[in-house]
């Protein structure tokens, strides 16, 4: 059985169980039950295991979270027993397992999930808004929300309601080679304010630096989700629309045509490498080209800075990274034309933790979830590494020595958006990838947008597509 068929069947069963009163050991309205218990047991589940997959996350839970929380509860006169339920499975197998647990009202009290699953699980009835599980007053009272930008809270939210607490995240920016910019007579403090600015810079590089690829804008199906997240979606929100909004998916809309139009401007004019977009190893080759000074502009996440061109351990090391690599916010198509009226935009990924609505100790589970996302626990989770977290106070502290990651945390995250958490999203994403591939191959924007819209209508139904 495919994961898509499984989720569809599970969602139907979940609805049936909910209407017959069989979903969960306690209903969400019983959030006060056992609230004053002096002794309680909780379980945390995550797709991580010591010595294996995501080992650092497992070690953090077992060696820091559990003993520290038990100690914290003991100081409050309570006896807590907390266990960890590790997993080293594939993401799809882990997802299937927790879906089965949640639909049957069993399993752990706290689950680690990918943010892209939130909408799907919410629609299936597997998870509930935090307000419904533990009470709005208690949820709102947590001071940790003040440290998590509303945009980042969106990673674990659905239809305006918080279903969990996000953990680490990331952000997309424009990288550029400052030496190449200087050689082309462009400013090394470049910050484009429109898509026209990007095209103008790329044209200057093309005319003045033969042999240099002006821009890498991920396109096509060979790069998979990297095309969608580093290219199509940032441009789409820059054109004023998220891929899913108001109950509908973007079809042949002005925003989609604008997004594909920029692809056409880049690849029809030879500002990008058309062949590279169809290469199975095209993304890695683009990394190497940038590191070697053969590519001037590239759109990527902060992973590119800390994992690709990182001077010691990067996969395309740049010993002079700090001197040569510039970074800028991704502009909207024109000032104030992005989503929420923004002049700059980004896209982010990441996961977080949710509460099991069937937990016997809901209030205590919420207290544990707050503890896991407190400042001290978040710092401990980093284990000395410099990575962007969900908390601005932690980012201000641990990223102080890294201006690029600080830039993303302070200036990019407040502007970001997230992918919609639906089971059909990967198929819509593939349709977007195909549309960009069509444009790279010479198809006109209008025709590529029309074909894309028909593909999405086939996937989700014509009534759920905005055209």
Q: How confident is the model at residue 33 (pLDDT cuts 50, 70, 90)?
A: low
Of the residues 380, 395, 418, the one at which a domain ends:
418
> Using one digit for the tens of pLDDT, what is the confidence trace for 279-303?
999 999 999 999 999 999 999 999 9
Looking at the fold, whether 235 and 356 belong to one and the same domain comes out as no
pLDDT of 22 higher than 90 = no
Which residues on neighbouring strands pair with residue 158, listed in sequence order? 161
Q: How far is CA 333 from the centre of its chain?
A: 22
Q: How confident is the model at residue 443 (pLDDT cuts 50, 70, 90)?
A: very high
Looking at the fold, whether 271 and 190 belong to one and the same domain comes out as yes
Nearest residue to 364 via CA among 101, 129, 23, 69: 69
Q: The CATH number of the domain where 132 resides is what? A: 3.40.190.10
Rounded to whole angstroms, the Cα distance separating 307 from 304 reads: 5
Range of the domain at 194: 172-347+422-466
> Using one digit for the tens of pLDDT, what is the confidence trace for 55-113?
999 999 999 999 999 999 999 999 999 999 999 999 999 999 999 999 999 999 999 99
**467 within 8 A of 251, measured Cβ to Cβ:** yes
Which residues on neighbouring strands pair with residue 44, listed in sequence order? 84, 110
Rounded to whole angstroms, the Cα distance separating 422 from 117 reads: 6
> Using one digit for the tens of pLDDT, what is the confidence trace for 145-154?
999 999 999 9
pLDDT computed for residue 35 by the predictor: 84
Q: How confident is the model at residue 32 (pLDDT cuts 50, 70, 90)?
A: low
Percent of the chain residues topping a pLDDT of 70: 93
> Using one digit for the tens of pLDDT, what is the confidence trace for 382-404?
999 889 999 999 999 999 999 99
Rounded to whole angstroms, the Cα distance separating 231 from 266 reads: 12
Looking at the fold, whether 378 and 428 belong to one and the same domain comes out as no
Between 26 and 424, the higher pLDDT residue? 424
Structure-block tokens of residue 260: 């594909």
Looking at the fold, whether 189 and 212 belong to one and the same domain comes out as yes
> Using one digit for the tens of pLDDT, what is the confidence trace for 186-215?
999 999 999 999 999 999 999 999 999 999
pLDDT of 47 higher than 90 = yes
Q: How confident is the model at residue 4 (pLDDT cuts 50, 70, 90)?
A: very low
φ, ψ (nearest 5 deg) of residue 378: -65, -40
Return the exposure string of 281-307: e unless at least 16 CB atoms fall within 10 Å of the residue's CB, then b.
ebbebbbebbbebbbbbbbbbbebbbe
Place of tokens 């407190």: 374
Looking at the fold, whether 230 and 105 belong to one and the same domain comes out as no
Looking at the fold, whether 68 and 159 belong to one and the same domain comes out as yes
**H or E stretch at 103:** helix 91-103
Looking at the fold, whether 207 and 87 belong to one and the same domain comes out as no
**Mean pLDDT to the nearest integer, 450-459:** 98
pLDDT of 114 higher than 90 = yes
Of the residues 418, 435, 458, the one at which a domain ends:
418
Looking at the fold, whether 178 and 217 belong to one and the same domain comes out as yes
Cα 372-373-378 angle, rounded to 5 deg? 90
Looking at the fold, whether 130 and 216 belong to one and the same domain comes out as no
pLDDT of 371 higher than 50 = yes
What is the greatest pairwise CA distance in the chain? Answer: 73
Other Cβ atoms less than 10 A from the Cβ of 380: the count is 15
Percent of the chain residues topping a pLDDT of 90: 90
Strand intervals (E) in 183-312? 213-216, 244-245, 248-250, 295-301
> Using one digit for the tens of pLDDT, what is the confidence trace for 322-364?
999 999 999 999 999 999 999 999 999 999 999 999 999 999 9
Looking at the fold, whether 434 and 285 belong to one and the same domain comes out as yes
**Mean pLDDT to the nearest integer, 413-417:** 94
pLDDT of 167 higher than 50 = yes
Q: How confident is the model at residue 304 (pLDDT cuts 50, 70, 90)?
A: very high
Instruction: Give the count of domains, the chain.
Output: 2
pLDDT of 11 higher than 70 = no
Looking at the fold, whether 8 and 153 belong to one and the same domain comes out as yes
pLDDT computed for residue 423 by the predictor: 86
Mean pLDDT of the chain: 92
Looking at the fold, whether 286 and 358 belong to one and the same domain comes out as no
């Amino acid at each position: 059985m495919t994961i898509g068929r499984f989720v569809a069947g599970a969602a139907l069963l979940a609805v049936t169980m909910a209407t017959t009163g069989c979903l969960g050991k306690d209903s969400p309205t019983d959030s006060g039950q056992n609230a004053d218990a002096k002794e309680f047991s909780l379980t945390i589940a995550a797709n991580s295991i010591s010595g294996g997959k995501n080992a650092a996350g497992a070690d953090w839970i077992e060696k820091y979270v559990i003993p520290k929380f038990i100690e914290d509860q003991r100081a409050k006169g309570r006896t807590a027993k907390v266990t960890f339920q590790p997993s080293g499975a594939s993401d799809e197998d882990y997802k299937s397992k927790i879906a089965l647990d949640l639909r049957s009202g069993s399993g752990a009290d706290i689950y680690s999930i990918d943010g892209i699953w939130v909408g799907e699980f919410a629609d299936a009835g597997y998870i509930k808004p935090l307000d419904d599980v533990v009470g709005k007053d208690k949820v709102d009272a947590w001071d940790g929300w003040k440290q998590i930008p509303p945009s980042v809270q969106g990673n674990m939210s659905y239809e305006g309601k918080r279903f969990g607490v996000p953990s680490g995240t990331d952000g997309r920016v424009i990288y550029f080679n400052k030496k190449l910019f200087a050689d082309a007579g462009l400013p090394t403090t470049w910050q484009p304010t429109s898509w026209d600015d990007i095209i103008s810079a790329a044209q200057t590089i093309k005319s003045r630096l033969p042999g240099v690829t002006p821009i890498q804008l991920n396109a096509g199906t060979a790069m998979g989700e990297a095309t969608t997240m580093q290219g199509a979606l940032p441009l789409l929100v820059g054109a004023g629309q998220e891929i899913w909004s108001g109950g509908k998916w973007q079809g042949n809309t002005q925003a989609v045509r604008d997004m594909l139009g920029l692809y056409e401007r880049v690849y029809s004019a030879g500002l990008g490498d058309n062949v590279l977009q169809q290469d199975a190893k095209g993304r890695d080759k683009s990394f190497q080209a940038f590191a070697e000074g053969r590519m001037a502009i590239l759109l990527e996440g902060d992973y590119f800075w800390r994992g690709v061109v990182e001077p010691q351990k990067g996969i395309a090391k740049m010993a002079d990274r700090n001197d040569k690599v510039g970074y800028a916010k991704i502009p909207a198509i024109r000032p104030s034309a992005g989503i929420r009226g923004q002049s700059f935009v980004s896209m982010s990924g990441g996961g977080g933790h949710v509460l099991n609505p069937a937990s016997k100790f809901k209030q205590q589970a919420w207290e544990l979830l707050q503890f896991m996302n407190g400042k001290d626990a978040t710092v401990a989770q980093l284990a000395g590494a410099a990575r962007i977290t969900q908390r601005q106070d932690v980012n201000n502290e641990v990223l102080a020595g890294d201006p690029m990651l600080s830039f993303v945390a302070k200036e990019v995250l407040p502007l970001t958006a997230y992918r919609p958490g639906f089971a059909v999203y990967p198929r819509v994403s593939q349709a977007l990838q195909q549309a960009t591939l069509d444009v790279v191959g010479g198809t006109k924007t209008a025709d590529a947008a029309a074909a894309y819209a028909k593909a999405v209508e086939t996937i989700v139904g014509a009534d759920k597509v905005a055209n």
